Amino acid sequence: MWKKFFVLIPFAVLFLASCVTDNPAPIYGIPPSRSGATLSGTYDDSVSHDNSLPIPIAILHQTENKTRGIYEPTDGIYLGAWLLPHKPKRDFTNDVGRHAVFVREMHLCEEVPATWLLQCMAVHAVPLFIIHPPLDDDSETPIGDKISRLAERLGAFNLPMFVAFYPPGHGLIPAEYSVLFRYARAIFLSNAPQVAFVWTAPNMYSTIRNPFFPGSDAVDWVGVPVFSNGSCVVETFAEFYHGFQEHHPIMVLPLGVSHFTTKGHSYRISEAMSEIPKVYQALAGFPRVGLVVYGDAFGFIPATRDDFSITIEPKLLEAYGKAILNNHFMTQLEENPRNEPRWVRSNFMGYYMEGQIYVNVGTLNELSISVPRTTIEIGGEVFADSRIISEITFTKCGIRNVVLAYGT
pLDDT at residue 41 above 80?
A: no
User: ∠237-362-390 over CA atoms, to 5°?
Assistant: 125
pLDDT at residue 45 above 60?
A: no
Would you call 354 exposed, middle or buried from its count of C-beta atoms within 10 A (0-12, 13-18, 19+)?
A: exposed
Residue 165 near residue 177, CB atoms below 8 Å: no
Structural domains in the chain, sorted by start: 2-24+64-330 (3.20.20.80)
**Counting every residue, how long is the chain?**
408
Round to whole Å and give the CA distance between 30 and 45: 20
Predicted model pTM: 0.86
Which of 191, 193, 196, 190 shows the shortest CA–CA distance to 161?
A: 196
Q: Helix, strand, coil % (nearest 5) of the chain?
A: 25, 25, 50
User: ∠116-222-340 over CA atoms, to 5°?
Assistant: 100
Q: What is the DSSP string of 307-333?
A: E---TT-HHHHHHHHHHTTSTTEESS-
Residue 51's pLDDT band, with cuts at 50, 70 and 90, is low
Tell me the mean pLDDT in the region 250-264. Answer: 88
Which is higher by pLDDT, 367 or 10? 367
pLDDT tens digits for 63-117? 876 788 999 999 999 999 999 988 899 999 999 999 999 999 999 999 999 999 9
Sort strands 376-378 and 126-132 into parallel, antiparallel or unpaired. unpaired
Which of 191, 123, 183 shows the shortest CA–CA distance to 156?
A: 191
Residue 108, phi then psi, degrees to nearest 5: -55, 135
DSSP code of 301?
S
pLDDT tens digits for 182-209? 999 999 999 999 999 999 999 999 999 9
